Amino acid sequence: MATGKMTKTCATAAAMAALFGLALAGVAGAEGAAPAPADLNGSYQCKPNPSPCLWSGATASITQSGNKLQIKGTNGAMADATLTSDITIAAGGTFNSLGIIRADKSIDWSDGTKWTRQ
């Protein structure tokens, strides 16, 4: 494996481990209570950070019902997700990423992209 590819793989694994740790901390801190749903409904601009926006395309939209989310990319990709705490998201399906919700409602994803609300 090339050194650059190994470094990127290690960095991605470390980021995913950190996100998973934050998700567990959020769940443990809630002591059995359901997470307070953040309002994530809306359109988002995907910004490479450092990975390109391959899954969603240039923009994506999130539709929310409680702690359940449906994510749609402008390129037709769709995924279901769950708000796992007041600051974390777990997206399954074809997206398969973890996200951290920032105070400005932007989302840093474990796939190396950042989504900002439009």
Give pLDDT tens digits for 15-56: 444 444 444 444 444 445 554 568 999 999 999 888 899 999
- The answer to whether the pTM exceeds 0.75 is no
- Residue 5: phi and psi, rounded to 5, are -70, -40
- Model confidence over 79-110: pLDDT tens digits? 999 999 999 999 999 999 999 999 999 999 99
Is there a contact between 85 and 27 (Cβ–Cβ < 8 Å)? yes
101, 27 in Cβ contact below 8 A?
no
The CATH number that domain 3-117 falls under is: 2.40.128
Query: What's the whole-number mean pLDDT along residues 65-85?
Result: 95
For residue 41, give both structure tokens.
Answer: 């409904």
pLDDT at residue number 17: 47
> Domain extents for the chain?
3-117
